[in-house]
A and B are shown apart, each in its own frame.
Chain A
Amino acid sequence: MVLEMKDLCVDFTGMRGKVRALRNVSLSIEKGEVLGVVGESGSGKSVTALSILGLLGSNATISNGEISYLGQNLLRLGPKEMQSLRGKKIGMVFQEPMTALHPTMKVGSQLAEVIKRHRGLSKKQAHKLAVEALKEVHIHDPELVAKKYPFELSGGMRQRIVIALAMSAPPDLLIADEPTTALDVTIQKEILQLIKELNDKRGTSVLLITHDLGVVSSVCDRVMVMYAGEVVEEGKTEEVLNAPSHPYTEALLHALPDLADPEEPLKAIPGEVPDLQNRPAGCAFASRCPKAMDICGVSVPALEPVSKNRSAACWLRRDTY
């Protein structure tokens, strides 16, 4: 097991008081596995990633749970140790590549710097490896690109460079939070292919966060669906998408336009995601769920196995396995 998170609860203290952003979130990633985290905005995807990286702000409290990375308890590490873990043992890629790049430094030098730091090489050796690294993320003419500044490159090129940076240590785990959301769909495909290729070739595990089920389907081995700060379903990607266990996953699939059946009216999900500040009692999806029962409005269903490779948090699925 590369990463294991158990029953994590994260609270934010703000002007309006305390909000529970994550509620008993558990997940695990095996070596070489790509785990997708999918959910709508505010469902807790980024907070999940930031918890692992130790990057939650000072207004956040982890009030329950454990995170272990390669057997090490991350919640016990000090800020210094976390910092050395980030970038080296865990690579990071975010939506906006510019946030990860130094704006006034040539991209080749940025890469060389990081490689030098991780591997203790000479400047010249590091530069050579930097060019190699650019080649590995399929940048044509890497010598030329190495001499450019980030602003001279397209969004897709920048994201390739961020991936090269993230993979330079190389890490055992890559955390990518909406890495293609700001990109055109044609470029998105190339970046997803690149992530998949690095995962295949190097056996790096990947935590891929996205709001797009299509993205999940094209690269993830397993998927975890989040809703209002909770994991509602988890399982093998194909199985979850073909036969969802949780009513929310099912509703989400029906709400998407289907290219194979474009005339079919969309089945919209009534209502909206609940405000975490006023999270209703019971199942968070109850007010929108077509299958809600009395118990759903009273008691929160826990995430439990419902079949061989699948877990769901729904009263309907209790005791079916």
Chain B
Amino acid sequence: MSTLIDFHSVDKSFYKGKESVKAVIGANLTVKKGSVVGLVGESGSGKSTLGKMLIGLEMPSEGSIQYAGAPLWKNKKFIRPRPGEIQSVFQDPQSSLDPRMRVKEIILEPLFALGTRERKEKGSRERLTSLMKRVGLKAEHLDRYPHEFSGGQRQRIAIARALITDPSFIVLDEPTSALDVSVQAQVLNLLKELKNERNLTYLFISHNMSVIRYMCDVIAVMYKGRIVESGPARKLFESPRHPYTKILLSSLPSIFEKKGPALSFAPPAEVDSGEEACGFFERCPFRMEACLKAPAFESITEEHGVACHLEG
């Protein structure tokens, strides 16, 4: 599989007055064409920020992001490889769909980025109807407003809108987190089928580890802005290497049998670890003196990497 996206030492800081928040720190991540890469991590760890840099909503502070071999950001500008090439679907379909617009207008909206001819072609009645059918909606739904739909249906509308431009890549940020379990399965299966039919590539953000395992080929784990471990989904679940990944996996409230010893956060460290320390020092049950200097992200195998002094 060829590389579609390459993050190289990407930082993103937000400034509030004099204070700065480092939302993403030194991110390195490769997304292969046709794969699904999952991002997990606690709330505020930087997952959405990382995703937003791919759709032009946030600009990296440092580092570079390559998309299909060309930089995605250049001179503070977001360079679209092709209009509509990259799309997104967010968690809350209620707030991401304009309540005053009819479903038809919502779905057609992304086409305004395209030239007149292409817009006409892609927005034809025929195409629209077949797309509606494909995502499990009906043609007569096109003239209704979002509030007339359930959460699951609204997410189908959001998916149709993302697909209308024929994208190659979609950022899915918690696409099923607001849905009930019985409807979540419908949407996850739809996303999987569409990916295979259209050879799509996904960045899939979720805090639900079973959903991530079901959807993703590769998983990256974030902690406080850093990618602390990444690797093939199976490898990561079977032999996690970073202490945070281990704790995360041992915390799953699974109805299925748990394996492996339980592992929990350590009580907050008593010493002030300082700026240079490993980002997980505060809560790491294995912290040691060496950890006062942050570990580099290193490869264990070609695909599996981790940032921890215990490894390497």
Contact = CB atoms under 8 A, between A and B. Distances in A.
B214 A262 contact: yes
Interface stretch (A52-60, A106-114, A188-196): A188-196
Given A185-B248, A188-B253, A257 B213 contact: yes
B237 A259 contact: yes
Contacts of B152: 272
A70 interface: no
Interface string A152-169: 000000000000000000
A255 B265 CA distance: 31
Contact of B213 (A241, A262, A265, A270): A262
A217 B258 CA distance: 11
Q: Is the interface of B mostly helix, strand, loop or mixed?
A: helix
A298 B184 CA distance: 29
A258 B251 contact: no
Contact of A273 (B42, B182, B207, B234): B182
B214 A257 contact: yes
Interface string B165-204: 0000000000000001111111011001000000000000
A40 B253 contact: no
A262 B264 CA distance: 25
A211 B253 CA distance: 12
Interface residues of A, number: 39
B182 A251 contact: yes
Given A186-B248, A262-B210, A262-B233, 19 more contacts: A185-B207, A185-B251, A185-B252, A189-B264, A190-B265, A211-B180, A214-B253, A216-B255, A217-B253, A218-B254, A255-B181, A255-B185, A257-B213, A262-B214, A265-B189, A269-B185, A269-B186, A272-B152, A288-B182
23 contacts: A40-B182, A140-B267, A185-B207, A185-B209, A185-B252, A185-B253, A186-B247, A188-B251, A214-B252, A214-B253, A251-B182, A255-B181, A255-B185, A256-B210, A257-B188, A257-B210, A258-B210, A259-B256, A260-B256, A262-B210, A262-B234, A268-B186, A269-B183
Interface of B: 42-43, 150, 152-153, 180-186, 188-189, 192, 207, 209-211, 213-214, 233-234, 237, 247-248, 251-257, 264-265, 267-268
